[in-house]
Structure formats: structure tokens, C-alpha cells
Structure 1
Amino acid sequence: MTVQAFSRKPLRVNWGEGSVARLAEELDRVGSRRPMVVCTPSVARNGDLLHLIERSARRALSGVVSDVRPHSPIETVRMVAGRLASADSVVVVGGGSAIVTARAANILCCEGGDVEMLATRRDTGGGLTSPRLTARKLPMVIVPTTPTTAAPKAGAAVTRQGAASRLALFDPAARARCVIIDPELTAGAPVTVTRDAALNALVMAFEGLTTRRRNLFADAALGHAARQLPARIGMLATRPNDSALRVELALLAVLVGDGTDSSGGGLTAALSHSVGHRVQAHNGVVDALLLPHVLRLVTRRDPSALASIAELLAVVPMDVTQAVEEILAPLSKLRTLRELGVLEDDLPLLVGAAMDDFASRGATFRVEDRDVERLLKEAL
């Protein structure tokens, strides 16, 4: 039997009405006197939310950085990294873009140097390798406003204008010390943003059950989330302002983020990163469109990788794709990449970017360029 191992850095999660009041306790725990808030512009425009964060911190803020943009552009990450130099902790308020930007900026601020030198790169053998990052990082407390999977993760990715591929950063020391899910903070996100983020969590849960790094602990978290998320995402249509529902979705997304931090991503994640950056679409929408196509590829190349999903959905592996399509169909209306603005001329760039994405190595079989090209043509 092959020796396997599992480890998880302790993560505290506080949730429920009034849980944001725990922020002061969490900042005391990490010894922070000068926290910097990194948030989305929408959070910054809501003066009541920022006042709530400052009041809950019970100490003066080092500052507020709010000009965070989707897909974490490198210019934004560098700007945030410069601002973090005056802080001793980071409080992130927002969704996945704010969290990923803050994590990448934290790494850049503490490690110094250039982002390209800190990022995952190809080694002499053509494989992807991540440099070991050893500097101590600023403690991070995350207050999500959407059901994002980014909160408990160790990775971040930076995009560059004109480049199809992303720069991926991986540093376990940059994981959050605490996640606080308060209904007052999740209430303001538009229902479409909440739905798309939850959809991203659902797709990641399914794909995490197929990867070569999947394990007992990840399967438990991802399987539970995959069972619970479809019905709860559907409830948003009739209960868009249900605070308990939004908190539950955010908790399930944390489970998925933690599970996939262990199991790793797969080809859907790699393609979604590439396509989403190219057409500036939310990863959840792209994920839901692409997952069935990826599952068809898995069915052709290694149907045994579908065993966990098959058991979860009570079908045989050969029927997994159809079962997942039936789950996703009422949750996302887009069916083709053309509806997102992807053109056939874009495919070579998207293939290259996906193959350079670390998540593409998560499949149980060797993914070739021709596999990705065929998949994207089918999805057009």
C-alpha cells in the first residue's frame, strides 16, 4: 500500500449573527495593532460596513485599500503589497478577488523581489514547480461577503494585461488564520454574484472528487458540499435575501475551499481560469459550462476517476456526465463558450494558458494539448 499523509493548518471559522464582533479577539490572538483592510470597491462605498469592521476591530486601522479588481491584475497586487508594508495584519472584506489579491500582495510584500520570480514556473524537464517561500507572512483574517472557496486556501494567482496565462503563487504561510461569516456582511452582495460564487464552489466540489490527489478527508468535505449546494443555490431564486441561506452557502464554500486545497484542482479549474480572464467572466459561470465537457474527457481517458461522484449520485461512472449536467442545467443558463464571447481564434491561447495552469496537472491521466483543444471546440 502506498503511504499517504494528510495535514491541515488549524483554521478558526466563526459564523452567525454578530460574529464579526469576534474580529477584535482574532486580531488580539495574532498580536495585531495595525490591521490593514483590503476590500472591494462595493464594500468601500458602503460606509456602514467599513464602520462596522473598524468598530469590531476595536483599534485604529493602518488603512483601507479598496481598488481591488476581478482576476487580481498584477498592477493591483503590487499596489496593495506596497500598502501592506505599514501593517502588521490583513483583514480582507469581500469575495474571491479581494481575498486572492490580498494573499498575493501579502506574499509579495513579505518575500520582496518580483512576482515572476515567486511564481510557479516550468523546470528544465518541462514540469511545473513552485519555489519555496520562507519569509514570515502577515496574519490574515477573512470576512467573506460571498460564498467564495478562496478563504481557506494557500494559493493565489495574478493576471497580466495581454497575457493569457496567470502567475500562480503558493505559500502555506499565507493561509488565513480565521474566517468570519456574518450575515450583515453577506447581505449586500448581489444575488447573481452570490449564485455564481456558489456555482463555482459546486463545480469545484465535483471536480475535487476526481483528482489524483483526492483523499478520504477531502472526499468527506467535498461530498457533503456537493450534496447540499444544488438545492441551496436553487433556493436563491425565491429567497434572495435569506441571510441564513447566504451564510450556509458561504460555509459550504469554505468546506470546498478546504477540501480542494488538499485534493487539488483539475482541468475545469485550469480552463475556467484561462477563459474567465480572457473574457472577464465569473469563474462560476465558466465552470458550470465546462465541467460536463471535462467529465466526458475523463470518461474516455480514466472512468475510474469518476467513482466517487458516481457513488455520490447513485449512478454508474459512465452516466456521471449526464447526471451532473442535469444538476447544473437549472442553475446556469449558458451552454456555449460563444455566448461568453469566446471565438475560435482564441482557442490556441486558451489551450496554452490552461496547460500552463498548475490545476491542469490534477487529472489522473496525462492531459495533452489536443485533449484541451478538442474539449474547447466541443464547448464552443
Structure 2
Amino acid sequence: MFQTSFSYDALPMRVRFGAGSVASLPTEVERLEARRALVLCSPEQKRTGEAIANALGDLSAGVLAEARMHVPVEVARHARDRAAELGADACVAVGGGSAIGLGKAIALEHDLPVIAVPTTYAGSEMTAVWGLTEDGRKRTGKDPRVLPAGVLYDPELTLGLPVGMSVTSGFNAVAHAVEALYAPDRSPIISLMAEEGVRAMAGALPAVAADGGDLDARTQALYASWLCGACLGATTMSLHHKLCHALGGTLDLPHSETHTIVLPYALAYNQPAAPDAAEALSRALAAPDPAHRLWDLAGSLGAPRSLRDLGVAEGDLGPLARQVVDAPYANPAPVTLDGVTRLLRAAWNGEPPRVEP
């Protein structure tokens, strides 16, 4: 059914897309009237971060290779202090959600503009959502100050992303679009982007898995991640993200793998209550049951499909379900303790997702 009343906020950022676009980074830093940009990355991406800093030349304030998953608050505090010590007036976040999340933490404290250079498909660069983990709990919020001022999508930088990580990162992106299709603040514009993002990513991932050096497939996947991330940035998160925040923040699970495992089960939970979203996903995935299709696709690409395989103990499920139910996000289907417990148990076992009427 077409929505006849809605609102849509365009995000104020500049995006450059295409192979080789990272060469324009100095120009983008100067466009912000910045003179000392601190390059942020994870320890694994240190070599890439140093190459970016070298390309910036005199515009670089150095490299901080300390980004970690779920942005632990102690890491964020050290990064904020380091940025102040170096006199940084901008940040360039290179990598996935961990690096970009660290840039957002600095922006939240010091109002420094962030330029994101994504090398995964996480999509954080398209949102004003920040997250910090402290004492085993992940807090999230929205603040326009943390929205990157610029994004450089260069598919050549994703060629080194291992195939397994590429697949799970792609599923992470798909999760953003899936939830946007049934978000309470969705719009026809976002729904179009979400459906196209899912279609493009589902088409790109098998080609990426077959040949990680396929630049055309990498370009399509990065395009899809842009669309999916923009959907996340424009809508309210639902049960899927609440589950992943609880799992990641409490158990320090790998981010994209957790999203990959949880997505089919969260979608199956919501499909009966979101028929328009299910119809759009059926078109995008060319399948009558989108939840089962995503579970099948993950398996065919060698992605994990069980929380047990990530080290989650059976005894963790009850407290996690209670955490989710005690502070739920907006969701089309009622979030009940029994329902969430059954969802988590199915995901823990890795059994095929079942859509219940």
C-alpha cells in the first residue's frame, strides 16, 4: 500500500563514489577548511591508515590505529584525548564500523568533522547513530554532530577485504535495509532504496565470494552498502538491531557475523506483521519467503548461521532475551519474552527460520 503521508530528511553530506576516488581525499579535507586530519583505523588496517596519512601529506596529524568493535568507552576516551593533544581539526576514518564509530565518538566530544573512507559494507558512514560500550552494555543514540561530513567510496579499497568478512559485512548491510522497510518512520523514498540495496547486495555477494578480486562485483556491493546504510541513517532501528546490540555489547561478539546469523530469524519474526516489507523483499530476492532465502544464501556462501558457533552459551539466551524485552526498539510485531527467547534459541541452534502466523 502506498504511503500518502510521510516525512523525509536528506542527510547533509558529500559523497564521492568510484574506483580511485580516494585520491581526492586532500581536496575533501581542504573543503572542510581543515589543516590537521587525524587518521583513524583498526590495528589490522594500520598499513592502509598509514598510506592514507602519507597521501594527505602536510594535512595529516598522524594515525591512531586503535579502533575496536562496539567502541569501548575507554578506547573512545583515549582517542578524544589524543585528537586534542595533536591539535586535530578533522578526522579521516578508514575501515568499517569500528573506525567510523571511533570517529563519531570524537565528533560527539569535540565537534570535529569526520570524513569516512569505508573499506567494508557496514554502512555506519551514512548515519548519525553513535554507539559506546561500557560495563558490558552498548548504548546508542543519534546526534547530527557525528554524521560524517564526507564519504569516499572507493571499491579498490575493498579488494583486500577477505571473502568471508565481505559476505558477513554484506549481510550486515542487508539488515539495515530490511529493517528500514518496516520502520515506523519509513517513506516511499527509503523503501525504494532499501529494496534496491537488498537486490544489489544479494546479486553481488556470490560474485565476490567466487572472486574477491572482481572489481565490478566489489563496486556493486559498495553501491549496495551505500543504499543500505542510507536507509539505516534515515529510519528507526527495530528488533534485529536491538538483538545484535545486546549480543555484541554483552558478549563482545564479532559484529557482522552476529548480524548475519540473527537477520533471517528477526525477519521471520516480523514477516507476518509487515506484509509490504515482505513483498518488497520477495521481489528483491526473487523468493517467496525472504527470511528463508537469506538463511539459504548465507549458508551457500559459507557464512556462520548459528550463535553457538560464535561461542554463545545456552545459558546466555535467557538474560539476553530479558535485556531485549526490557528496553525494546520499535517493531512491527509485539516484542515478547517468549517470542524473543524462541528466536534466540532457533538462532543458537542454527535451524531454518520459521515464519509463524
Category of TM-score, reference length = shorter chain: 0.7 to 0.9
Paired residues of 2:198 and 2:285 also in contact (CA < 8 A): no
Q: In the alignment, is residue 138 of structure 1 matched against residue 108 of structure 2?
A: no
5+ residue gaps, structure 2: 349-357
| Cα separation, 1, equivalents of 2:76 and 2:186 | 31
The residue aligned with 1:367 is 335
1:232: which partner in 2?
204
2:72 corresponds in structure 1 to: 73
Partner deviation per Cα, 1:283-333 (whole Å, 9 max, x = no partner): 3322232222223322455545534324545666xx443344344432344
Question: Against the structure 1 CA distance between its residues 71 and 312, is the aligned structure 2 distance closer, same or farther, given a 3 Å change threshold?
Answer: same
Question: Which residue in the other structure is 2:352 paired with?
Answer: none
- 1:39–1:98: 8 Å Cα contact kept in structure 2? yes
Compared with structure 1, are the counterparts of its residues 146 and 314 closer, same or farther at alpha carbon in structure 2 (3 Å cutoff)? closer
Q: Distance in 1 between matches of 2:66 and 2:12?
A: 30
Question: Which residue type is aligned with residue 88 of structure 2?
Answer: A
Q: CA deviation at 1:180?
A: 1.0
Task: Quote the residue 2:220 is aligned against.
Answer: 248
Aligned amino acid, residue 101 of structure 1:
L
* One of 12, 15, 18 as aligned partner of 1:13: 15
TM superposition score normalised by structure 2:
0.87
Q: 2:304 aligns with which of 334, 341, 344?
A: 334
Measure the CA separation in 2 of the matches of 1:51 and 1:79.
19
* Contact 2:49/2:65 (8 A) holds in 1: no
Corresponding position of 1:151: 125
Q: 1:170 to 1:315 in 2, by over 3 A?
A: same
Displacement over 6 Å in runs of 4+: none
How is 1:1-380 mapped onto 2 (pairs within 5 angstroms)?
A: 3-44=5-46, 46=47, 49-85=48-84, 86-107=87-108, 109-110=109-110, 137-161=111-135, 163=136, 165-301=137-273, 303=275, 306-313=278-285, 319-355=289-325, 360-380=328-348
Shift in CA distance, 180/196, structure 1 to aligned 2, threshold 3 Å: same
Q: CA–CA distance in 2 between the matches of 1:2 and 1:232?
A: 33
Gap runs ≥5 in structure 1: 111-136
Quickly say closer, same or farther: Cα 1:248–1:213, change in 2 above 3 A. same
Over the matched positions of the two proteins, sequence identity in percent amounts to 29
Give the conservation status (yes or no) of the 8 Å contact 2:53–2:63.
Answer: no
Q: Which amino acid aligns with 1:66?
A: A
CA distance in 1, matches of 2:112, 2:152: 17
**Residue 351 of structure 2 aligns with which residue?**
none
Give the 3 Å change call, closer, same or farther, for CA 292–187 of structure 1 in structure 2: closer
**Is the contact made by 1:305 and 1:364 (CA closer than 8 Å) also made in structure 2?**
no
TM-score, normalised by the number of residues in structure 1: 0.82
Q: Secondary structure at the match of 1:249?
A: helix
Alpha-carbon distance in 2 for matches of 1:144, 1:160:
25
CA contact (8 A) 1:270 1:355 kept: no
Distance 1:26 1:293 in 2: 41
Tell me which residue corresponds to 1:133. Answer: none
RMSD: 2.4
Q: Deviations over 1:92-139 (max 9, x none)?
A: 1111111112202321x22xxxxxxxxxxxxxxxxxxxxxxxxxx211
Q: Which residue of 2 aligns with 1:118?
A: none
Tell me how many residue pairs correspond in the alignment: 344
Cα deviation for residue 167 of structure 1 reads 1.4
Task: Please tell me the residue identity of whatever aligns with 2:92.
Answer: V
Query: Is the 8 Å Cα contact of residues 84 and 106 (structure 1) preserved in structure 2?
Result: no
Whichever residue aligns with residue 116 of structure 2, its letter is I
Q: How far, CA to CA, are the matches of 1:321 and 1:42 in structure 2?
A: 33
- Structure 2 distance, partners of 1:62, 1:356, is 43
Change over 3 Å in CA distance of 1:223–1:305 after alignment to 2: closer
Structure-1 separation of matches of 2:302 and 2:248: 16
**Structure 1 CA distance, aligned partners of 2:62 and 2:340?**
44
